[in-house]
Structure 1
């Protein structure tokens, strides 16, 4: 079944677009950070230009080792939320660990979200799985997500393995599909939650 975005646009969910993922000396933990950020920026521009809903997720750890004065959890300046865009802070990997996020998602008529950003192997994976179990439909933009490099092994292989798991719970899309179709974008709905 195809649903026109003009009738009911999906929410663009920007996951953990925080400075720490692009900070010198910490950059080794992100695969393709600059390319991912560029694609995120293109999609964010598309959503904003069409006045479609945008949501930002921000992971705020509550552990004793977390330094609340650190600037590493700040938004990446080019991708930070604008007035009127929703923001949700979550202490655990899943955005559903935020009670405000749960309340919001449970009160919208047709939950359809396009998910992009960082921490693919934590926030994005956990949120998609939690959402799937609540019958919320997610699409993950495969070339607009990034994850930490694994402790051992090839980073691209690790990312693909995580994407293979996510594909069981969400539809995988590319940024080119979304940008190419612009205002005429059609969102495919299927039984896997997409």
Structure 2
């Protein structure tokens, strides 16, 4: 099914597009940061150009390694929320740990969300699983998501394993599948 600009478009959910995840030398720097960031920005540009709804999630964990007062928790400059775009801060991996997010999502009828961003193995996984159990539909853009490096093993295999698990609770698309040349979005 394709959604055109005249239909009710899905919400683009940008998960944890924060400087912290791209800073080299940090313990939880993400894999494929440049590629994932580029695709996230392409999707963000498409949604903004079409004036479609955009939502930003920001992890503000209280753990010692994730200092919310640090500049590292700032948005990536190009992905910084604009006026009119929704933002939700969440202390735990799932966006549903934000009471405002829960309230918003429970009041949307037929919510369709396209999820892209960082923290694939935490925020995206936890949000999709919890949303599934609340009958919220999510689509994850497989080439516009990234996760931290695993403690051991092959990083690409780790990311693929997480995407495979998410596939049990959400639809997985590539950005090319999602964005059609006609300007329509597959949902």
User: What range is the shorter-chain TM-score in?
Assistant: over 0.9
> Match of 1:36?
36
In the alignment, structure 1 residue 121 sits paired with structure 2 residue 110? no
Q: CA deviation at 1:186?
A: 2.9
- The alignment covers a number of residue pairs equal to 186
The runs of at least 4 aligned residues of structure 1 exceeding 4 Å deviation read: none
> Match of 2:3?
4
SS in 1 for 2:71: coil
**TM-score of the superposition, structure 1-length normalised?**
0.91
Write out per-residue CA displacement over residues 75-116 of structure 1, whole angstroms, 9 at most, x where no aligned residue: 000111011000000000000000000000000111100000
Q: CA deviation at 1:67?
A: 3.1
> Match of 2:109?
109
> Match of 2:167?
167
> Match of 1:190?
none
Unaligned runs of 5+ in 1: 188-194
1:46–1:182 contact (8 Å) kept in structure 2: no
> Match of 1:192?
none
* Inter-CA distance 155–66: structure 2 relative to 1 (3 Å threshold): closer
Q: CA deviation at 1:26?
A: 2.0
CA distance in 2, matches of 1:53, 1:182: 19
* Inter-CA distance 12–69: structure 2 relative to 1 (3 Å threshold): same
* Inter-CA distance 182–22: structure 2 relative to 1 (3 Å threshold): farther
> Match of 2:141?
141
> Match of 2:57?
57
> Match of 1:158?
158
2:179–2:186 contact (8 Å) kept in structure 1: no
CA distance in 2, matches of 1:106, 1:26: 36
Unaligned runs of 5+ in 2: none
> Match of 1:130?
130
2:67–2:73 contact (8 Å) kept in structure 1: no
1:21–1:27 contact (8 Å) kept in structure 2: no
CA distance in 1, matches of 2:42, 2:158: 25
Write out per-residue CA displacement over residues 95-148 of structure 1, whole angstroms, 9 at most, x where no aligned residue: 000000000000011110000000000000000000000000000000000001
SS in 2 for 1:72: helix
1:42–1:179 contact (8 Å) kept in structure 2: no
In the alignment, structure 1 residue 72 sits paired with structure 2 residue 72? yes
2:120–2:162 contact (8 Å) kept in structure 1: yes
